[in-house]
Amino acid sequence: MLTFRNTNLVFGIASIALIVTDILYDIPLALPITILILLYSLILFYGCYFIHSGFFMNIVCKAETDKKVIAISFDDGPAENYTMQIAQVLKEQDIQATFFCIGNRIEGNEHIVKSLHEQGHLLGNHSYSHHFFFDLYSSGKMLAEMKKMNDAVYQVTALRPKLFRPPYGVMNPNLRAAIIEGEFIPVGWNVRSMDTVAKDSSKLMEKIKQALQPGAVYLFHDTCKITLDVLPAFIKHVKDQGYDIIRMDKMLALQAYE
């Protein structure tokens, strides 16, 4: 299996083999070393940016089931603009979703977080700052952020989320260490709507309809107008196909809070 540990092992052995070959046969190393570094970098890139790869650690991205159930999630809120409107659509359809919130957006928006919780939605941790350089932080700094985010949720709900979704969906060894140390449960997705960059609502709709399958975990953003626009029709389509939209912790059998 392609994991960080196995990759390091294979590339470590390959490097030693190259050095030994060089000592024994005096073969120039520049080209093989360059190829090795390039290959290693490519594999690491894959592990960092493809959350479902499980390269650094196992991350739940979907349910293994034949039942017609899916879970939907919204990242990057609470947002003054669309979170409550999205929650209203969900309320009308009697659907519970998961909101992976950013901690520093909670101050001033406590009423939104409170309302989401009271409507039965799940609150997840999506870091405190969602800083552009979050992935370059030390594991200690990452964990401090994750705990600060949980404190912000605790102030409103008296609950501390256990589910954590990495900012930008990027994994690395430091984040793995922070997740383990903080006893968080990392959660990904298997349907990335790309709603943050979508321009055409009918194309977005087609994409998310095509991806419908048992156990799917959808990633949306409650910061996007286009998401609000397509949500009612998407929910109708899902229901028409005989599917139920259920809360992620139920579908994936995860403990949502400490």
- Per CB under 5 A, residues contacting Zn ion are 75-76
Output the smallest distance, CB 105 to Zn ion, in A. 11
Nearer to Zn ion, 76 or 195 (CB): 76
Nearer to Zn ion, 76 or 145 (CB): 76
Output the smallest distance, CB 173 to Zn ion, in A. 20
Nearer to Zn ion, 71 or 238 (CB): 71
Output the smallest distance, CB 135 to Zn ion, in A. 12
3-state secondary structure of 72: strand
Nearer to Zn ion, 106 or 238 (CB): 106
Backbone torsions φ then ψ of 75, nearest 5 degrees? -100, 160
Distance CA 14, CA 226 (A): 49
Nearer to Zn ion, 99 or 234 (CB): 99
Output the smallest distance, CB 130 to Zn ion, in A. 5
Say if residues 205 and 178 touch (Cβ distance below 8 Å).
no
For residue 75, which amino acid is it?
D
Sole residue written with tokens 């669309």: 82
Centre a 10 Å sphere on the Cβ of residue 202 and count the other Cβ atoms it contains.
9
Output the smallest distance, CB 126 to Zn ion, in A. 6
Give the residue nearest to Zn ion (CB). Answer: 75
Give the CA angle between residues 72, 75, 81 to the nearest 5°. Answer: 105
Q: Which DSSP state fits 55?
A: S
Give the CA angle between residues 184, 185, 186 to the nearest 5°. Answer: 110
Distance CA 89, CA 126 (A): 23
Centre a 10 Å sphere on the Cβ of residue 199 and count the other Cβ atoms it contains.
7
For residue 43, which amino acid is it?
I
Nearer to Zn ion, 218 or 243 (CB): 218
Output the smallest distance, CB 27 to Zn ion, in A. 47
